[in-house]
C-alpha cells in the first residue's frame, strides 16, 4: 500500500523532472547564445518556447507543434500509453524520454524509501528528524534523476541542478553527523567520502586542465560524498562507476566503435554507483569480507 503511494508520487515527480530537464536545456541554449557560443538553431527554435512562454502562461507544451497541453495529456504513463507515445494534437512521436524518466524516478524513489525503511540509510528515533530526512532524500532523488538525464543527453551537469543537490546533501550530512553517537567520527567519515568522490576528480581535473573530467563531476562528487557519509561506501561507489563504465565501453571498443576521443559522461555512472553503494553497499562489503574469510580458512585447512 505505502509502495503504491510512493510509486504514484514518483511518477508525478518524474513527470516534473522530465519537464525540468527540457526547460533547463532551453535556458542553457539561450545563455550559450547570449555568450556568443555556437548553438544549434534547430534545437533553439524547438525549445525556447518552453521558457519564453512563461510570461503568458506556465503550461507544458508539445515540443513539435507548441500546442499547450491539458491535464489529461500530462498524466504520467497513462497519457503516453493512451496515444501510443504520440502528441494528441500533431500526432508526432513524443519519444521514450518522458515515460522512461517517469518510471525511473518512481523506481529511484521507491528504492530510496525501501532503503530508509529496511536498513535505515539514516533514520532517527526523533519523528521530526525522521520525516525531514525522508523529504530531503526525496528531493535528492529527484535532483539526481534530473542530473542523470541531463548529463546522459548533453554531457553537462548544470549548476542549477548540482547546487541545490549540494545544499540538500549538506543538510543530510549535517543531520547525520549531529545524530551520530560520536559526531567527530561521522564527520571524519563524511570528509573521507568527499575526498574520495570529489577530491580525486578535482585532482584529475587540475592535472588534465579539464580535458579528462569536467568540473561538474567535481561538484557532483561533493554532493554524493556528503550524502553517502562513509569513505568505504564512497570508494565502492567510485569502483562501481568505473566498472559499469568499462562494461559499457569495452564491447564497443572491441568492435572499434569507440576512439580515444569518444566522450563518456561520468555523471550517470557516478550516480548509478552511488545509488548501488547507498542501498546495497554494506551488503556487498559484508559478502566480500565473508568470502575472503572463507577463502582464508580454506587455505589454512590446506
- Residue numbers at the binding site for Zn ion (CB under 5 A): 62, 64-65, 87, 89-90
Three-state secondary structure readout of 204-236? HHHHCCCCCCCHHHHHHHHHHHHHHCCHHHHHH
Non-local (6+) Cβ contacts of 18 within 8 A are 97, 98, 101, 102, 149
Cell of 143: 535532483
**Residue 21, number of CB atoms within 10 A of its CB:** 24
Cα-based distances in Å from 15 to 52, 99, 117, 248: 20, 8, 25, 28
Residue with Cβ nearer Zn ion (28 or 68): 68
- Closer by beta carbon to Zn ion, 62 or else 136: 62
From residue 10, give the alpha-carbon distance in Å to each of 79, 105, 110, 239.
16, 5, 7, 28
CB of 70 to Zn ion, least distance (A): 12
Q: Whole-number minimum distance, CB 62 to Zn ion, in Å?
A: 3
Q: How far is the CB of 92 from Zn ion (least distance, A)?
A: 6
Smaller CB distance to Zn ion: residue 33 or 83?
83
| Closest CB 85 distance from Zn ion, rounded Å | 12
Q: Which is nearer to Zn ion, 47 or 223 (CB)?
A: 47
Taking the complex as a whole, the smallest distance from the CB of residue 268 to Zn ion amounts, in Å, to: 29
Residue number with CB closer to Zn ion (23 or 64): 64
**Residues paired with residue 61 on neighbouring β-strands, in sequence order:** 68
Alpha carbon distance 56, 123 (integer Å): 44
Under 8 Å between Cβ of 170 and 187: no
Amino acid at each position: 500500500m505505502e509502495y503504491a503511494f510512493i510509486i504514484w508520487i514518483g511518477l508525478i515527480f518524474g513527470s516534473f523532472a522530465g519537464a525540468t530537464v527540457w526547460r533547463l536545456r532551453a535556458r542553457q541554449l539561450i545563455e550559450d547564445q547570449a555568450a556568443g557560443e555556437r548553438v544549434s538553431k534547430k534545437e533553439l527554435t524547438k525549445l525556447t518556447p518552453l521558457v519564453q512562454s512563461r510570461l503568458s502562461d506556465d503550461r507544458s507544451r508539445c515540443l513539435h507543434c507548441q500546442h499547450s497541453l491539458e491535464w489529461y495529456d500530462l498524466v504520467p504513463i497513462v497519457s503516453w500509453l493512451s496515444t501510443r507515445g504520440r502528441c494528441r494534437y500533431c500526432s508526432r512521436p513524443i519519444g521514450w524520454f518522458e515515460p522512461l524518466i517517469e518510471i525511473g524516478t518512481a523506481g529511484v524513489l521507491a528504492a530510496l524509501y525501501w532503503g530508509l525503511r529496511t536498513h535505515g540509510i539514516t533514520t532517527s528515533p526523533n519523528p521530526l528528524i525522521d520525516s525531514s530526512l525522508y523529504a530531503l532524500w526525496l528531493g535528492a532523488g529527484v535532483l539526481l534523476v534530473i542530473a542523470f538525464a541531463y548529463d546522459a543527453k548533453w554531457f553537462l551537469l548544470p549548476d542549477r541542478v548540482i547546487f541545490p543537490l549540494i545544499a540538500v546533501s549538506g543538510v543530510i550530512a549535517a543531520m547525520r553527523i549531529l545524530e551520530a553517537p560520536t559526531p567527530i567520527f561521522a564527520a571524519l567519515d563524511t570528509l573521507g567520502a568527499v575526498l574520495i568522490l570529489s577530491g580525486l576528480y578535482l585532482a584529475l581535473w587540475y592535472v588534465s586542465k579539464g580535458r579528462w573530467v569536467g568540473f561538474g563531476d567535481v561538484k557532483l562528487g561533493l554532493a554524493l560524498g556528503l550524502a553517502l557519509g562513509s569513505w568505504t561506501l564512497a570508494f565502492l561507489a567510485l569502483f562501481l562507476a568505473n566498472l559499469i563504465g568499462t562494461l559499457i565501453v569495452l564491447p564497443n571498443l572491441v568492435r572499434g566503435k569507440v576512439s580515444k576521443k569518444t566522450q563518456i559522461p561520468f555523471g550517470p555512472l557516478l550516480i548509478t554507483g552511488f545509488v548501488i553503494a547507498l542501498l546495497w553497499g554494506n551488503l556487498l562489503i559484508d559478502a566480500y569480507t565473508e568470502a575472503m574469510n572463507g577463502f582464508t580458512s580454506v587455505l589454512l585447512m590446506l
